[in-house]
Amino acid sequence: MLRVDLAERRAWTEEIPQELLHGYLGGRGLGVRLMREYHGLDPFDPAMPIIFAVGPLCGTQAPTAARLTVISRSPLTGTIYDCSAGGRFAWRLKAAGVDLLSITGRSASPVALRVTPGVAEIIDVPHLRGKSVHETVAAFAGEGSVAAIGPAGENGVLFANIMMGEGNSVGRGGLGAVMGAKGLKAVVVNGDRSVAIADRERFDTARQDVIRLFRASPVIFGELGIAEYGTPALVDLMRQRRMAPTENFRRTIFEESGNYSGPAIRRDFHAKKDGCYGCPIQCKKSTPLGEHLPEYETVSHFGALNGIASLSAIVRSNTLCNELGMDTISAAATLSAWGEARGRFPDGEEVQRLLSDIAFRRGDGELLAMGSRRAAESLGRPELSMSVKGLELPAYDPRGAYGMALAYCTSNRGGCHLRAYPISHEILRKPIATDRFSFSGKARIIAIAEDTNAAVDSLVACKFSFFGATLEEYAELLSATTGVDYSPQSLKEIGSRIYLTERYYNCANGFSVKDDVLPQRFHAEAGSSGEGIEVPAVDRARFDEELQKYYRIRGLTPEGKFPDRDFLLRCP
């Protein structure tokens, strides 16, 4: 563990206790365990850490494991927050001999942190103040991998992100603003250390099994899979299922969504395969000149959510968010809520002007920089923020998938689709199909999925891997790497411990059942129907019943809290 205090301009290393590694693995788990010591602190308090943590498989050839997680408290939601990202940064941080980097303090002027084996150097970079992400990364060309913020992070936009130099982003929850509040413009890492494998033969066998399962998965490598078209392959499917959030979730179908589907992006932008370092899936897409093309959530929210059909305008908005350092989901959703409040959604050209205004907090951007919940409250229309715990909902309308409706609310970081992702079985029908318009059994399914994904985020592996492989193969990879035997069940138990640690942190900061709610629109208004598909409003009584069932499964009270104070003793 490398600890850095920016105020005192000093750095030192500590050994990570073995019991924490066995109990929390790395990545998300290890980060949230260390955050237990910081509940009650404001996200912008200098003592609040921002933590970069790799997983135990990083630095090996384990598929999709060249990732890291960034952990802190979100200024947008007030919840504990973690966000995963790929690229080369994680690999090089591990090669510098660092499994976890924890940064506290505040610099009075812009600084960057340079980390190499045995060396952590704080350098002054006043000339990078106000520079774009691209300009900042270019300033460290040849020095290693860079994690940087843009003007949005410097100016405290509550959904500012952290961009990796290769184009990946720590995109949700405003952790770029936490970094900006510390005066930290960039972190640069490089190293040449290798990772030892305890049992090479066992590792190679497990890796071959994972690759084989990837190849057999139609979701990953099918004709219309994510390897072929990236996540925008979902555009046409969500339209057909009447689940495409349109005009701030007033409707659930956008007739012109075909303009920005996966095939349309390939055709209009000559998209080529791209992806994270060493990943065999290569789900990301870029232009021949290297411009990163938008993901599904981005095309849908800068498209249907704001009533925009122009793919070129959507791509420009995505590029601008990446350069300014802002989360595309929250940015587009905030603009949509604001557009409904004023009676007119912004067009593509206005969106781009407003994005710049948000990043520099000028004009209407001053209000919009606070996110949809605060902006809607300021306008006297709080019901227009389509968010849970202040986190704007992604591009899956919960009226079309009741497991997703529940998962949005039980997610510890707010309205997020990646904590459980019931879309996998409700829409993609993997591993088994469930009735998307029923709550039956969903509480238990969500709890199991949350535990599984907490373990995955702590390994740290990409969730797309699990459209093919399972925890069984990754438990083998982990056992072979560390020489310590893990089973799928033991990983799920670790995942449960991680989830409950997050819930404990949130409860200590005042969260309860009152925060585990959907926006009223989804209970009061039906979605768009047609072609034999009816999309009714979500029954509030049935939702509450399943939420209470979820609490019982988790061992929580009807208020969503812990029944006693023994949790810390049970989860050391």
Summarize the confidence of residues 544-562 as an average pLDDT: 96
Question: Which of 420, 481, 496, 412 has the alpha carbon at shortest distance from 451?
Answer: 496
Residue 572 has pLDDT above 80, yes or no: no
Q: What's the pLDDT score for residue 278?
A: 81
**CA distances (Å), 382 to each of 104, 163, 299, in order?**
34, 30, 25
Query: DSSP for 153-169?
Result: HHTT-TTB-EEETTS-E
What token pair was written down for 34? 């260390």
pLDDT given for residue 284 in this prediction: 86
Round to whole Å and give the CA distance between 280 and 40.
42
Residues forming CATH 3.60.9.10 domain(s) in the chain: 2-189
Nearest Cα neighbor of 421 from 456, 370, 374 is 456
| Residue 436, pLDDT above cutoff 70 | yes
pTM given for the model = 0.96
Could you tell me the pLDDT band of residue 90, with boundaries at 50, 70 and 90?
very high
Judged by average pLDDT, the poorest of 120-129, 300-309, 486-495, 561-570 is: 561-570
- Report how far residue 445's alpha carbon sits from residue 422's, in angstroms, rounded to the nearest whole number: 8
Would you state the pLDDT for residue 163?
96
Kindly report, residue by residue over 121-131, the tens digit of the pLDDT.
Answer: 999 999 999 99
pLDDT at position 514, please? Answer: 98
Segment 231-243 shows an average pLDDT of 94
The confidence score (pLDDT) of residue 406 equals 98
| pLDDT, average across residues 22-26 | 96
569 pLDDT higher than 90:
no
Instruction: Answer yes or no: is pLDDT of 208 > 70.
Output: yes
Strands 169-170 and 184-189: unpaired
pLDDT(568) > 70 = no
Local structure of residue 246 (DSSP, 8 states) = B
Write down the pLDDT at residue 114: 98
pLDDT at 571 over 90: no
Rounded average pLDDT over 275-304: 90
- Which of 3.50.50.60, 3.60.9.10, 3.40.50.720, 3.40.1190.20 is the CATH number of 2-189? 3.60.9.10
Chain segment 500-510, per-residue pLDDT in tens: 999 999 999 99
Give residue 50's identity as a one-letter amino acid code. I
Q: Where in the chain is the domain with CATH 1.10.599.10?
A: 401-467+487-570
pLDDT in the model for residue 167: 83
Write down the pLDDT at residue 570.
67
Which backbone phi and psi does 170 adopt, to 5 degrees? -90, 90
User: Beta strand pairing status for 169-170 and 162-164?
Assistant: antiparallel
**Which of the two residues, 410 and 431, has the higher pLDDT score?**
410
State both tokens at 410. Answer: 């039980």
Name the architecture of domain 401-467+487-570.
Orthogonal Bundle (1.10)
- Fold held by 238-397: 1.10.569
Domain with CATH 1.10.569.10 in the chain: 238-397
Q: What is the pLDDT of residues 135-152, one digit of tens each?
A: 999 999 999 999 999 999
Q: Which amino acid is at 339?
A: G
Q: Per-residue pLDDT tens for 306-348? A: 999 999 999 999 999 999 999 999 999 999 999 999 999 999 9
Query: What's the whole-number average pLDDT of the chain?
Result: 95
The lowest-confidence range among 96-105, 354-363, 374-383, 524-533 is 524-533
pLDDT above 90 covers what percent of the chain? 88
Q: Report CA torsion sign: 291, 281, 173, 44.
A: negative
